[in-house]
Structure 1
Amino acid sequence: MTDETTIVPLLEPREGIPPVVENPAELARVVRAFAAGTGPVAVDAERASGYRYSGRAYLVQLRRAGAGSALIDPIRCPDLSELDAALADAEVVLHAASQDLPCLAELGFHPRALFDTELAGRLLGYERVGLGLMVENVLGLRLEKGYSAADWSTRPLPEDWLRYAALDVEVLVELRDVLYEELKATGKLAWAQEEFAAVLAHRAPAPRSDPWRRTSGIHKVRSLRGLAVVRELWTLRDGFAREADLAPGRVLPDSAIVTAALELPRTTKALTEIPPFTGRSARKHLREWLAAIGRARTLPESQLPQPSTPGDGPPPANRWMDRDPVAARRLAAARTVVTSLAEEHHMPAENLVQPDAVRRLTWEPPPVVDEETVASRLRELGAREWQIELTAGPVAKALTELEAKELG
């Protein structure tokens, strides 16, 4: 841990704020410069989460030894495939890579080798792994993090924002270098490399068939008619949001949808008594909102949505004792082992082995529980080899001892 008195504010990029790349000629110069650079490439992307409908990138930042830093406007330069080809053999350094990889892929940028500084920090047992705190604790430098939640779709981007963006990659490679040595010294480098490869190989799950069921607060809606209102309003809002490229919550918050489903307003006056419907974005569509509620109210019973059915996984853990007390005890035994091993190796339990894998294993264990069958099941559930090596034996032992106790 760095002493607070020795922390140095990082206020300006070493070469100043680079100009924003906004046309093919400028992008070609960046490609040539980064192709001629050496070593890992620090990369970051800024989105407009909470402001825009899509998760696209609105600024891409890069830094490499010998090339300096670059800021690319992906609205003006939406194809980074030439940069991707130029850096095909380079290790890409990202912080919380899973957040940025999808929007980089949309631009044609696909890292082949990855170092994720956040994930490395987790494996090393750092308690707080945000970029600012990692830079502070590891390098003794303080980053300004005031613009992380800004609307990066803003144009032109203010100078302070650009300075912040450039600083986000300014020392990312230096952070990577220190963490690399720490991983090597603690025997965790191979584990980290498996994790980085898994991040790169991950593919997003297929879209949900009923995405409206994820409306926050929907559990309050008990009637099928109310669920129909949620479905109609959610679908209508999604269309407005997509068309306007606004985050859906900026068109109409989930709380308004749920309240309308509970109250079933019949008139514009009743609808506007629900405060969010009087907001600027929502007020433009009062007639459409009311019509959607009317459609839901008059749907035939056969067309009403049914309560959600359980997925293919186990129920929530807090229901296990009622549903299957033996499985609940298996889960508790396995969690105790995982927690102990995680403490021994100085990392969060969820990084030692995925909690969902532990739940699925203990809800439906193999017919014969031993180290080999537990390892096979964990592998099926997506656990990495290093995780299996550390956990399969101890978990199998705990489960067999529990089974013997239950039978005895």
Structure 2
Amino acid sequence: MPADRGAPDRGPSDLGAVGREGLRLLATCNYPSDVRPSLQVFVRALLLELRALGADVTVIAPESIANLTKPVTGFRMAPRREDRDQLRIHRPRYVTLSKVPLPFGLHTSRWGTRSYVRAALGVAEQLGGPYDVTYGHFLYPHGLAAAVLGRKLGVPAVASLGESSFSRYDNVYEEREIGDLLARFTGVVANSELIKDRCVQKYGLAADKVRVFPNGVNRELFAPMDRRTARHRCGLPPDRAIIISVGQLVERKGPLRVMKAIESRPEIGAVFLGEGPQVPSGPQVLFSGVVPHEEVPIWLSAADLFVLPTLDEGCSNAILEAMSCGLPIVSSDLPFNDGLLDEAVSLLVDPLDPSQLSTAVFTLLDDPGRREEMKAAALTSARHFRLSDRAQRVLAFLRECADRGSVPR
């Protein structure tokens, strides 16, 4: 196991040095805190890689006052300002309301988005800059805030899109509005060809504005360790067949479908790393909840198989992390997994068909030799998805956009 599992991924790359040091980046996004340590950890990982490459990163991460009413936050809020991970994090407060459609095409989500943007703008005006580019991770509200801040500060804006679906936007905004927002960005980073095609074909975004950079994994942090040692550290039984699923405990990710798939084999144990309303229960559930991100590789290494019957994804970080730990994958036979998974590393099924899911899980658990072959293939495949490589490409594109100098309208 690597000596420092929390270090940025500094592995070898054939990309060479990219970009110039000192790019001044103002990012609007969610960011982990002591209140929500698992919040958007993949965004944190990318920003830390950009910082390690020489970018000067400032983060504005507005926090809803509704968090005071949520058990998941312990009815607390993160500090308004803190130095975390050697970054200055600003968390102005904003107001959100329930996501309720209203007459005449109105929606309460619009009010929450406006409040978010105003909060971010207030901090940006206080900070003043100078900045070279603004960067919003996800389109609403973070990307919209980046566009508004870019216009206010007189710098280009870039959006990074990895949404599993745009349906939540389509339910609130007209297609024309989404297209107009995308057109305001100097550049757009998409983590899959599917997202690029959606932006170009449905919303009219110019194709030359988009770069596709699939997600990457820190392969120093996410590396296989001895299974028996991992199980001891996680408090898991040493000899039981164990599957693991990582992601929000929601219908889209399918934790309850996973439990349904294994219920006929009570000797199989299951681990679920995540939070949400669909919390699995029963004697087969060995653990369900959130662990620190740096401990996720230990839990992955303790399992025999990774299972994620998800209904929609951009480019799944959880699958990449599981592959990097050498786990065979059972996931969805849907287009978002194209280019990420193949038969050498996975069995792909209809995520809504319990019999297909059961058959795939049982087939691999009952064939340790095949799992070993898939482990080797997964480790080889994961080498193509290094976070350090992705960060270099993103930084080069951000510099390219900054050099263009176009300001959002």
Q: Which of the pair is proportionally richer in helix?
A: 1
Structure with more strand by fraction: 2
> Scaled by the length of structure 1, what TM-score is found?
0.24
So what's the TM-score if we normalise by structure 2?
0.24
Q: Which of the pair has the greater relative contact order for Cα pairs under 8 Å at 6+ separation?
A: 2
- Which structure has the bigger radius of gyration? 1
